[in-house]
Amino acid sequence: ALPICFPVTIPEVSKICFCDLLTAFSIVNFSAGLGLVWVLSGIWSMQREKQGLKIYLASLPAVLYLSSLLYADIVFDFFAFFTLFNLLKYAKTNTGKFLVIASVTAGISIFVKYNGIALMLVGVLFIVWFHFTSGKLRLAWKPVLLYMLFPALYLIFWKYYNGIS
């Protein structure tokens, strides 16, 4: 089944690239695959100086192959890893902008596939764990609410649109 965000992005890519919808779908998947490689190299290089090239070269053929197929998984993986990447940046810098970016990308990952709900819950657990290990557990409620904002808004909209049962 097509994920929800593709009906929004595919016609736009089709118009921009002057191609049919199937080719536009492939372009979106390929772009997400390249973005996934970029995010993976960023995660890898956060801990080790200039080691990002190794994971980039190691994952490029597999990601390119998977992104050439017409699956939504590669797009979901891009948003999931980008969410985790920004959560790691938040843990290193304790800056709210990375938490907002992680919240938005977690919401988009739910928009792509409903497996993103698990990503939302893992992000909450990560934030609580981060504040627990830093000895500031009582201050964790604000970042958790900030992180939950966009995914919760999407889920509320989805329940309203599909009818509350």
Tell me the pLDDT tens digit for each residue of 123-141: 999 999 988 888 888 888 9
Q: What is the pLDDT of residue 44?
A: 67
Task: Decide if 103 contacts 80 (C-beta within 8 A).
Answer: no
- Whether pTM > 0.75 for this model: the answer is no
Task: Decide if 3 contacts 34 (C-beta within 8 A).
Answer: no
Q: What is the pLDDT of residue 40?
A: 74
Q: What is the pLDDT of residue 56?
A: 59
Largest CA distance in the chain: 55
- The 3 state secondary structure assigned to 111-144 is HHCCCHHHHHHHHHHHHHHHHHHCCCHHHCHHHH
Q: At what angle do helices 116-133 and 141-162 cross, to 10 degrees?
A: 170
pLDDT lower than 50: segments of the chain: 1-4
Tell me the pLDDT tens digit for each residue of 23-47: 887 888 878 877 877 787 777 666 6
Q: What is the pLDDT of residue 74?
A: 80
Cα separation, 119 vs 83, whole angstroms: 8
Q: What is the pLDDT of residue 4?
A: 46
